[in-house]
Chain A
Amino acid sequence: MNPQANLIFITSLLLGTTITISSNHWVTAWAGLEINTLAILPLISKHHHPRAIEAATKYFLTQATASALILFSSTINAWATGQWDITQMSHPTACLILTTAIAMKLGLAPFHFWFPEVMQGSPLITGLLLSTIMKLPPIALLFMTSPSLDPTPLTTMAILSVALGGWMGLNQTQTRKILAFSSISHLGWMTIILVHNPNLTLLNFYLYSIMTTALFLTLNTTKALNLSTLMTTWAKSPALNAALLLTLLSLAGLPPLTGFLPKWLIIQELTKQDMAPAAIAISLSSLLGLFFYLRLAYCATITLPPHTTNHTKQWRINKPVSPLIAILTTMSVLLLPITPMILAAL
């Protein structure tokens, strides 16, 4: 894409995110969200093929609806309480509408239908941006309004997200859709602990961003867009594929990898809050996700009986790989031992 246009879009993206995170007034928050929406639309439809255009359209429609609902909820609250402060949302209906709006923005079930199609229509790096940066403003808003939110719809949507993300992910062969559903599952984990300990929501989001960035960048080096392509990547980047196995297992939440940390702390907090059935439900539902992560890992590090290979590792690679992958993979695998330091920093 035209470098100047790219510069404007990326800058707008960062600007919108920063505005929303640092706002105290609802209208500025809404403005930041709108800037984000508009900025990412050309990034989604970068390649101009029909699927990308359709993805951009779907994205715009749902995000516009969600932003309108946020404005609506803040207006109701202003009408009832006379102030526009984000942290002072006291009207119950406003809180409910805000919950649904942010769920729509994030992609929590049952408001998630747009997310896989948008991810499938956009290139891998845009998908990465959709999963990480575009989630940050809504989660920041949730974090700021967490004391006044009703836990019931949040918990229901969370467990539903994890389950639905698991079931839908089982039936996919396209890696971008699989990553979309994995994102939906992780959002469920983030949402369930919001009212009890919002810091854990943020921690989960940060760790999830690290892991999913590592994953997206790894897939981007070999442009593995479906499982069949993934099975041929061992010849192009064998070491990276081995690291991909660990990253996927970390996303699944397997100890002793990093991904276990947020799950462990969330389950602990839920149990302390006397919500053991919810903890059981969400843990069992995330087992479904484990299956498709393992399937991805199996396809990448394809374990076959010893046999003669029909080709060796390619000695010509197309572009140098950035060192960011190494840093992020290491972080997504090895952060569990420094849990106390992380907890102290929360």
Chain B
Amino acid sequence: MDLPLILTTTILLTLATLSTPLILPLLSDNLKNTPATITSAVKTSFLISLIPMTIYIHSATESLVLLHEWKFIMGFKIPISLKMDFYSLTFFPIALFVSWSILQFASWYMASDPYITKFFTYLLLFLIAMLTLIIANNLFVLFIGWEGVGIMSFLLISWWHGRAEANTAALQAVLYNRIGDIGLILCMAWLACTMNTWELQQLTSPNPIPTPPLLGLVLAAAGKSAQFGLHPWLPAAMEGPTPVSALLHSSTMVVAGIFLLIRTQPLFSNNQTVLTLCLCLGAISTLFAATCALTQNDIKKIIAFSTSSQLGLMMVTIGLNLPHLAFLHISTHAFFKAMLFLCSGSIIHNLNGEQDIRKMGGLQKMLPTTTACFTIGNFALMGTPFLAGFYSKDQIIENLNTSSLNTWALVLTLLATTFTAVYTTRMIVYVQTGHTRIRPLTPMNENNPAITSPLTRLALGSITAGFLITSFIPPMETPPTTMPTSIKLTALIITLSGIILALEIAKASQIPILPKQNSFRNFSIFSGHYNPLVHRLSTTALLSGSQNIASHLTDHSWYKTLGPEGLANLQQMAAKTATTFHSGSIKAYLGSFALSTLIIILSLH
């Protein structure tokens, strides 16, 4: 059996199955889309994509296919080529599995929406763009996918476009992504000029690669994956419907930035500047997001900040020069984060739109399946041993502890891990335990299989994914082999201490008295004062600077005042002054004549 051929064929079949709901309606009027057809298309694609993954696990077969070459400049080839290696073959089933579950859930969640088919079509388009990004062999196809996911993110965040905050959030997302795109285009331009290629295979060079293009890559990742500095769009993106948050802003789109860095890792694996930058940026991002999540009251915002924190952790892994470990974390994170969002979606719909955790409580008895999956997801997020998150998160912290790199990044990451445990426990306590604080007449019903089967499927994935992936795929980088026991238990100890701390604080704050304001609490509540400062200051500075330079300096000063208008003003002043001397009084005239005569004679004698 020609395994590479089967591999390639099945991957292309996956993509073709996914595009069926887009193409078939164009061919005939009878073949209209429905949510059910789109969901089954994704399910079929998932099942087909298991085949190439199995082939890879069996024999580590990789493949590369060139579909077409776009010849528009002589001497610079832009092939449309697809790369089926470990990353794409593993991520395809995971992404399709998660998307299938989300689409099935969305058929219940968006059932009352009149344009539900358009919603599903948008999600499908997003999925195709994301998979294009994953399977790209060169930066050109990757860029097509990159921009595609950006546009679909915009359209989906502003799904309820009658709401002003949704439009603002969508614009914010596009703007921040665009700032990152500048970095990606810079790097692509440099590559095209220096190495004359955009292929990933050719991304090595004997000369040391200059830092600016690599910084461009880091900028692109920071924009897409919401690192600190370009992060405000991710919490704001929670304006979109919950399936959108689950698919885009937890599992797939936001990891595109990290994925770019994973793909281009050969470029900067020797560049210590870029690695240190990734390490520190990731550490700051993870701690900042975890701090902001501590005092949030909106359930979706807490999960959004936790996504941001985990993305920071992935960036830290990139900074440790461990791309495979980062990819492992991406894969496991997809499962439990999507599940957390779906659980929150179920809770929100069942509480008739309530998103504030202070108005939930005691849901453990009322929504048992949802809250059970919620607990599993939260424990997986915290890195509970032998759930999915443990396999990737614990390895990352072990590597961080045993490396000889930046201690400060280590401290920040450990602190962020503790904070993760704290806010996760807080969320569990507020949502599931204690006396209920919901409105009196709230009919709740989670007995719909459209809710429970996605959740249970993803719960299964959250429990077993880590174990399965690490069992079947050998590690590509050498894991740390020996370390003292205390170092080995660090992650566990700090997580446990976080849980205990949170439980103590939760017990102490059963009495609903508004706590006193202090600056640390305010820092967390206002998410670091970042939005008002940066949004207003940077735009005002840019606009006023440009007005000063372009309008005041160039137009008014150089062209007008130092030229015609200034000259005209001078002449006007001279004319007015001269007119006042011509008073009409002959005495003054004759006096001036006498004076002038005297001056002439005295000075020139």
Within 8 Å of chain A (Cβ to Cβ): is B34?
no
In the bound assembly, the distance between CA atoms of A153 and B604 in angstroms comes to: 8
Shortest distance from the beta carbon of B574 to any chain A beta carbon, whole Å: 5
- Asked whether B575 lies within 8 Å of A168 as measured between CB atoms, the reply is yes
Contact: B586 with A58, CB < 8 Å? yes
| A153 CB contact (under 8 Å) in B584, B590, B592, B600 | B600
Q: Is the CB of A97 within 8 A of B576?
A: no
Q: Say how far A128's CB is from chain B's closest CB, in angstroms.
A: 22
B451 to chain A, nearest CB (A): 75
Interface-lining segment among A17-25, A111-119, A221-229, A262-270: A111-119
For B581, list chain A residues within 8 Å (CB).
113
Chain A residue numbers with a CB within 8 Å of B601 are: 93, 96-97, 100
Which B residues are CB-close (under 8 A) to A93?
601, 605
Instruction: Assess the A168–B586 pair: CB atoms within 8 A.
Output: no
Partner of B586, one of A61, A99, A100, A150: A61
**Inter-subunit contact B571/A288 (CB<8 Å):** yes
Instruction: Out of A58, A92, A168, name the residue touching B582 (CB < 8 Å).
Output: A168
Cβ of A331 to closest chain B Cβ, rounded Å: 32
Contacts A57-B586, A164-B578, A167-B578 hold; do A104 and B593 have CB atoms under 8 A apart?
yes
- Min CB–CB distance A332 → chain B (angstroms): 27
Q: How far is the CA of A171 from the CA of B582 in the complex (A)?
A: 12
**Binary flags per residue of B594-605, CB closer than 8 Å to A gives 1, else 0:** 001100110011
Is A168 touching B579 in the complex (CB atoms < 8 A)?
Answer: yes
Chain B residues touching A, majority SS: helix
Q: A61-B586, A97-B597, A104-B593 are in contact. Are A152 and B575 (CB under 8 A)?
A: no
Q: Which residues of A contact B596 (CB under 8 A)?
A: 100, 110-111
**A210 touches B (CB below 8 Å):** no
Closest chain-B Cβ to A31's Cβ sits at a distance in Å of 23
Q: Measured between alpha carbons, how far is A312 from B597 in the docked complex, in Å? A: 55
Asked if B597 contacts A62 (CB within 8 A), the reply is no
Q: A69 within 8 Å of B by Cβ?
A: yes
Over the window 548-588 of chain B, the binary record of Cβ atoms lying under 8 Å from chain A Cβ atoms (1 yes, 0 no) is: 00000000000000000000000110111011011010101
| B567 CB to nearest chain A CB (Å) | 10
B108 within 8 A of A: no
Instruction: Please tell me if the beta carbons of B604 and A114 are within 8 angstroms of each other in the complex.
Output: no
Is A170's CB within 8 Å of the partner chain B? yes
A116→B579 CA distance, assembly (Å): 12
What residues of chain A lie closer than 8 Å to B76, measured between beta carbons?
none
- Asked if A65 is at the interface of the complex by the 8 Å CB criterion, the answer is yes
The reply to whether B575 and A170 contact each other, CB–CB distance below 8 Å, is: yes
Query: With A97-B597, A110-B596, A153-B600 in contact, is A65–B590 under 8 Å at CB?
Result: yes
Main SS of the interface on chain A?
Answer: helix
* B31-67 interface bits toward A, Cβ cutoff 8 Å, 1 = contact, 0 = none: 0000000000000000000000000000000000000
Partner of A100, one of B572, B582, B588, B600: B600
Q: Which of B584, B597, B604 contacts A152 (CB 8 A)?
A: B604
CB pair B582–A113 under 8 Å, yes or no, is: yes
- Give Cα A285 to B601, complex, Å: 26
Cβ B582 vs Cβ A170 within 8 A: no
CB of A114 within 8 A of CB of B589, answer yes
In the assembled complex, the Cα of A290 lies from the Cα of B349 at a distance in Å of: 82
Interface flags, A159-191, vs B, CB<8A=1, else 0: 000001001101100000000000000000000
Assess the A99–B600 pair: CB atoms within 8 A. yes
Chain B positions within 8 Å of A170 at CB level = 571-572, 575
User: B575 to chain A: closest CB distance in Å?
Assistant: 4
Query: In whole angstroms, what is the CA distance A69 to B598 when docked?
Result: 12
Residue of B whose beta carbon sits closest to that of A104:
B593
Known: A61-B590, A92-B605, A117-B584. A167 touches B597 (CB 8 A): no
Q: How far is A104 from B594 in the complex, measured between Cα atoms in Å?
A: 11
Using Cβ atoms and an 8 Å threshold, which residues of chain B touch A58?
A: 586, 589
| Min CB–CB distance B200 → chain A (angstroms) | 67
Least distance between B314 CB and chain A CB atoms (Å) = 70
A62 touching B604, Cβ below 8 Å: no
Residues of A near B604 (CB, < 8 A) are 96, 150, 152-153
Which of B582, B590, B592, B593 interacts with A116 by CB under 8 Å?
B582
Of chain B, the residue at the smallest CB distance from A99 is B600
For A92, list chain B residues within 8 Å (CB).
605
Chain A residues closer than 8 Å to B575, beta-carbon distance: 167-168, 170-171
- CA–CA, A113 to B592, complex, Å? 9
How would residues 32 to 72 of chain A score, 1 for a CB under 8 Å from any chain B CB and 0 otherwise? Answer: 00000000000000000000000001100110010001000
Do the beta carbons of B578 and A168 come within 8 Å of each other? yes
Once bound together, how far apart are the Cα atoms of A164 and B572, in whole Å? Answer: 12
**Could you give, for residues 86-113 of chain A, a 1 whenever the CB lies within 8 Å of some chain B CB and a 0 otherwise?**
0000001100110110001000001101
Q: Smallest CB–CB gap between A258 and chain B, Å?
A: 27
Task: Please give, as numbers and ranges, the residues of chain A lying within 8 Å of B572 by CB-CB distance.
Answer: 170
Across-interface contacts of A65 in B (CB, < 8 A): 590, 593
Q: A104 to B597, alpha carbons, bound, how many Å?
A: 10
Residue in A62, A97, A150, A288 whose beta carbon sits within 8 Å of that of B590 in the complex: A62
Q: Tell me the nearest residue of chain B to A109, going by C-beta.
A: B596
Q: Roughly how many angstroms separate A93 CA and B592 CA in the complex, as a whole number? A: 20
How far apart are the CA atoms of A58 and B593 in the complex, in Å? 13
Q: A57: which B residues are within 8 A, CB to CB?
A: 586
CA distance A61 to B572 in the complex (A): 32
Chain B residues within an 8 Å CB radius of A150: 604
Residues of B near A171 (CB, < 8 A) are 575-576, 578-579
Smallest Cβ distance from B45 to chain A, in angstroms? 71
Closest to B601 in A: A96
Residue interface mask B462-493, A partner, CB < 8 A = 1: 00000000000000000000000000000000
For A61, the chain B residues whose CB sits under 8 A away are 586, 590
A171 to B601, CA, bound (A): 32
CB distance from B161 to the nearest CB of A (A): 49
Closest to A61 in B: B586
Are B597 and A113 interface neighbours, CB within 8 A?
Answer: no
Shortest B488–chain A CB gap in Å is: 89
Which residue on B lies nearest to A163, using beta carbons? B574
Q: Is the CB of A111 within 8 A of B593?
A: yes
Complex alpha-carbon distance, A171 and B578, angstroms? 9
Q: Which residues of B lie under 8 Å from residue A62 when comparing CB positions?
A: 589-590, 593
Q: What's the nearest-Cβ distance from chain B to residue A67, in Å?
A: 13
Measured in the bound complex, the distance between the Cα atoms of B588 and A288 in whole Å is 26
Q: Identify the closest chain B residue to A57 (Cβ).
A: B586
Residue contacts A-B, CB under 8 angstroms, 9 given: A62-B593, A93-B605, A113-B581, A113-B582, A116-B582, A153-B604, A168-B575, A170-B571, A171-B576
Give me 13 other A-B pairs in contact (C-beta within 8 A), A96-B605, A111-B593, A170-B575 excluded: A61-B586, A93-B605, A110-B593, A113-B592, A117-B584, A153-B604, A167-B571, A167-B574, A168-B578, A168-B582, A171-B576, A171-B578, A288-B571
Give the 7 A-B CB pairs with smallest separation, nearest first.
Answer: A113-B589, A170-B575, A167-B575, A171-B575, A100-B597, A167-B578, A167-B574
Chain B positions within 8 Å of A, measured between CB atoms, are 571-572, 574-576, 578-579, 581-582, 584, 586, 588-590, 592-593, 596-597, 600-601, 604-605
